[in-house]
Amino acid sequence: MSDTIITMANGSKWKPSTSSDTVHCVNCDNAVDTPEEIASYPTGNCPDCGESWTGNERRSTSITVTAPEAISGEA
């Protein structure tokens, strides 16, 4: 995952918070997190266990709350 960097007018750089919504296979806990898997969901099969996506996959939302963190400008 690439970070988005916000550059403020004064030249300081900040990283914003991010969130991601991840679906996990009910059969093997494989996460639908690669472009191929996302493309196959929800009509294809889980590439790990070969079972078809059922629509009952566990969905978890992970929110990474990153307090604005200065990554440049240190004295």
Report the interface residues with Zn ion, using CB under 5 A.
Answer: 25, 27-28, 30, 46, 48-49
CB of 64 to Zn ion, least distance (A): 25
- Tell how far CA 63 is from the center of its chain: 9
CB of 16 closer than 8 Å to CB of 7:
no
Closer residue to Zn ion, CB minimum distance, 21 or 29: 29
Closer residue to Zn ion, CB minimum distance, 55 or 73: 55
The DSSP 8-state label assigned to residue 67 in this structure reads -
CB of 7 to Zn ion, least distance (A): 41
CB of 71 to Zn ion, least distance (A): 38
Closer residue to Zn ion, CB minimum distance, 28 or 71: 28
Within 8 A by CB and 6+ apart from 22, the residues are: 31, 32, 33, 59, 60, 61, 62
